[in-house]
Amino acid sequence: MAHVHDVPAAHGLMAEFDNPTALVEAANRARLQGYTQMDAYSPMPIPELDAALGIKKTKLPLIVLTGGILGGLGGYSLEYWSSVIAYPMVIGGRPFHSWPQFIPVTFETTILGAALSAVIGMFVLNQLPQPYHPVFNVPEFARASRDRFFLCIESTDPRYDREATRTFLDGLHPLGVSEVAS
Amino acid sequence: MADTLQHSVDERPTPPVIEPGHTFASVTDTISNIVLTRRTSIGWFLGFLIAFILLMVLNLTIGKLLLTGIGIWGNNVPVGWAFDIINFVWWIGIGHAGTLISAILLLFRQQWRTSINRFAEAMTLFAVACAAMFPLLHTGRPWLAIYWLFPYPNTMGLWPQFRSPLIWDVFAVSTYGTVSALFWFVGLVPDLATLRDRADSKVKKMIFGVLSLGWRGSARHWHRYETAYLLLAGLSTPLVLSVHTVVSFDFAVSQVPGWHATIFPPYFVAGAIYSGFAMVMTLAIPMRKAYGLEGFITMRHIHNMTKVMLATGMIVAYGYANEAFFAWYSANPYEEYMMANRMGGPYGTFYWSLIAINAAMIQLFWFRKVRDNVALLFVLSLLVNVGMWLERFVIIVTSLHRDFLPSSWDMFYPTRWDWGMYAGTIGLFMALFFLFIRFLPAISIFEMRTIVPEAKLRTEHHG
């Protein structure tokens, strides 16, 4: 049976810091210790965390490029189809396929496609909206959006061990370490 | 002489972008308390009341318009386009400063943008909403406008005319509105999470919780977030330049003397940014005073915005000179007459007023004494808004009212419904803005956290 182990399933262990430097240092130490399944939480972006946590470069730019190309092709095709095939009208003696005059709309739909894919892509890759996440079970975590910095080592990490990981986190001189209920 | 002047200028220190002594906590609390805990002031209610009355004027004029038709406006046969397009261009132009601040200044890594970008973006959205109303209502039956404007398969088998700048305008403005809204919302998400975590009541927690989409500040999320934000800025930059370019095509692609000019796109874009910064000043000066935000919107911001207004205003003034020069240089009698009529015709006073404001008055911005005088700058920025409105009036009305055939010349006089609708959109804009500063963080909290001294990572080797 799956739930033979009687240990309450925890999401992980979370250490709290009061400044970004300590968080980046903690993340670096945890990575060097061999932890891989972890995440850091901060009230503002800290670019240094990318390297510290080994975050891979996001695929988002590629998604945005694709969205932009599709938007542009879509806009131009719409103009071509409606002005040449569906509803051809002679306006000011111009050809049905007046490509220079199709540029502004093509430009706008390119931007629209790219911008929509940037926003939707970002939220989808981040798996947001997410109504529930275990980290919110820690009362101190409310300050993660104000002035506190958290490092959470997750229980799915192969090196995760309730006692040993707690000892390791305590060694980073955090303000406190809490177990995150899942 | 020049040397001593230079020297004396340099001695005065540049004001900081954020008052010293702020921390993550103080920044967060100061901004979020406006929404969460501060009592709503009498001033807010008074301001909102004025805005609301004007908003009711808008309702009244729209009601009257839909019942009677656009004949209630002063538009006539040579001047078929008047307040509806003047106000459209005016509002759209105002919106441009918001995007310039949030996108272009971000790409140029201008730190001072941080405390003004949020409400400038809100201003953009509200201005676009006001702008869009005019062409839509000019159709007289806006419920039909959907098939005139947007390409969708309808039972009549009709499609919009893609060779017309007017349809480019539809795409430019709707894309601009959409992208600005996305940019604004993406920027708000981490701040909504802050409000969720700091809210004291269940209802507020719930509302901000839903709006913040469960944002938790994960480093992986921030990584993608920053990428998306930067890409949006990169996309908004050409977009904002294209919008007013396309707006200027509405005129420049035609053959009406006074409209048919190649200077229009850059001249319109500069004018848009110029008027937009004036509106940002008009909003920022009372807001920082009322909410005690002088520590965030410092004199540095006021100085820089004034300088942007000076620079873009000078480009606009160059545009006026260029128009006059080409009217003469073209040796085209219609162009020459258009310019003579603009300067000395029945609307001449308007022309000279706009020159007095947009070319002469802005020279005051060269003086630091003026840039330091916040009350004076408030008045001057209101005047710039008036000047830019006059510019659109002059370009549109004086070009149309006397074109090629003297037999079709006529005068344009706005009716009270024209004024009512204009005042009404100002009411809508103000009402939305009052609601915005009361219910959402008017300054980007998470971006402010990145510029406080604590945010700088300490290097491992101390000293």
Instruction: Summarize the confidence of residues B340-352 as an average pLDDT.
Output: 95
- pLDDT for B204: 93
- pLDDT for A6: 52
Last residue of a domain, one of A85, A109, A125: A125
- pLDDT for B1: 43
CB-based contacts of B156-161 (< 8 A; 24+ apart in sequence): B157/A86, B157/A87, B158/A87, B159/A82, B159/A83, B159/A86, B159/A87, B160/A82, B161/A83, B161/A89, B161/A91
The residue assigned the tokens 């000279």 is: B352
Give the pLDDT band of residue A8 (cuts 50, 70, 90). Answer: low
Is the pLDDT score of B298 beyond 80? Answer: yes
Q: Distance (Å) from the C-alpha of residue A1 to the closest C-alpha of chain B?
A: 34
Same domain flag for A67 and A103:
yes
Q: Hey, of B167, B210, B232, B235, which one would you mutate to test binding to chain A, going by the most A CBs within 10 A of its CB?
A: B235
Which chain B residues are Cβ-neighbours of A25 within 8 angstroms?
Answer: 460
Q: How many CB atoms lie within 10 A of CB A5?
A: 7
Nearest to B221 among A75, A101, A126 (CB): A126
% of chain B with per-residue pLDDT over 90: 76
Which chain B residues are Cβ-neighbours of A119 within 8 angstroms?
Answer: 182, 185-186, 228, 232
Count: domains in chain A: 2
Task: Tell whether B197 is within 8 A of chain A (Cβ).
Answer: yes
Instruction: Summarize the confidence of residues B267-273 as an average pLDDT.
Output: 93
Q: Higher model confidence: residue A104 or residue B141?
A: A104
Is the pLDDT score of A5 beyond 60? Answer: no
Is the pLDDT score of B171 beyond 50? Answer: yes
Q: Higher model confidence: residue B445 or residue A1?
A: B445
CATH, domain range B36-450: 1.20.1630.10
Strand partners, A151: A15, A40
Q: Distance (Å) from the C-alpha of residue B228 to the closest C-alpha of chain A?
A: 5
Q: Which has the closest alpha carbon to B433: B127, B1, B117, B194?
A: B127
Instruction: Summarize the confidence of residues A34-55 as an average pLDDT.
Output: 92
Is the pLDDT score of B197 beyond 50? Answer: yes
- b or e along B106-144 (b: 16 or more beta carbons within 10 Å of the residue's beta carbon)? beeeeebbbbbbbbbbbbbbbbbbbbbbbbbbbeeebee
What whole-number distance in Å separates Cα of residue B458 and Cα of residue B445? Answer: 22
Say whether A178 sits in a helix, a strand or coil.
Answer: strand
**Is there a contact between A21 and B246 if contact means CB atoms under 8 Å apart?**
no
A99 → chain B, closest CA residue: B163
A89 assigned to some structural domain: yes
Task: Tell whether B449 is within 8 A of chain A (Cβ).
Answer: yes
What whole-number distance in Å separates Cα of residue B423 and Cα of residue B446? Answer: 36
Give the pLDDT band of residue B460 (cuts 50, 70, 90). Answer: low
- pLDDT for A2: 47
Same domain flag for A69 and A110:
yes
Cα–Cα distances (Å) from A90 to A86, A97, B167, B283, in that order, read: 13, 10, 17, 48
Same domain flag for A38 and A81:
no
Q: Which has the closest alpha carbon to B239: B95, B121, B99?
A: B99
Is the pLDDT score of B365 beyond 50? Answer: yes
Q: Distance (Å) from the C-alpha of residue B434 to the closest C-alpha of chain A?
A: 25
A27 assigned to some structural domain: yes
Is the pLDDT score of B295 beyond 50? Answer: yes
Q: Higher model confidence: residue B8 or residue B98?
A: B98
Is the pLDDT score of B4 beyond 70? Answer: no
| Interstrand relation of A10-17 and A149-154 (parallel, antiparallel or unpaired) | antiparallel
- Quote the domain boundaries for residue A83: 60-125
Contact B44, B434 (CB under 8 A): yes
What whole-number distance in Å separates Cα of residue B345 and Cα of residue B400? Answer: 13
Same domain flag for A27 and A67:
no
Same domain flag for A80 and A115:
yes
Is the pLDDT score of B113 beyond 80? Answer: yes
Contact B380, B340 (CB under 8 A): no
Is the pLDDT score of B461 beyond 70? Answer: no
Average pLDDT, chain B: 91
A101 assigned to some structural domain: yes
How many Cα atoms sit within 13 Å of B97 on the Cβ side?
31
Task: Tell whether B453 is within 8 A of chain A (Cβ).
Answer: no
Q: For A52-97, what is each residue's pLDDT tens digit? A: 998 999 999 999 999 999 999 999 999 999 999 999 999 888 899 9
Q: For A160-181, what is each residue's pLDDT tens digit? A: 988 999 999 999 999 999 999 8
A107 assigned to some structural domain: yes
Is the pLDDT score of B178 beyond 60? Answer: yes
Is the pLDDT score of B14 beyond 50? Answer: yes
Is the pLDDT score of B7 beyond 70? Answer: no
- pLDDT for A91: 84
Is the pLDDT score of B462 beyond 70? Answer: no
Which chain A residues are Cβ-neighbours of B164 within 8 angstroms?
Answer: 91
Q: For A90-148, what is each residue's pLDDT tens digit? A: 988 889 999 999 999 999 999 999 999 999 999 999 999 998 999 999 999 999 999 99
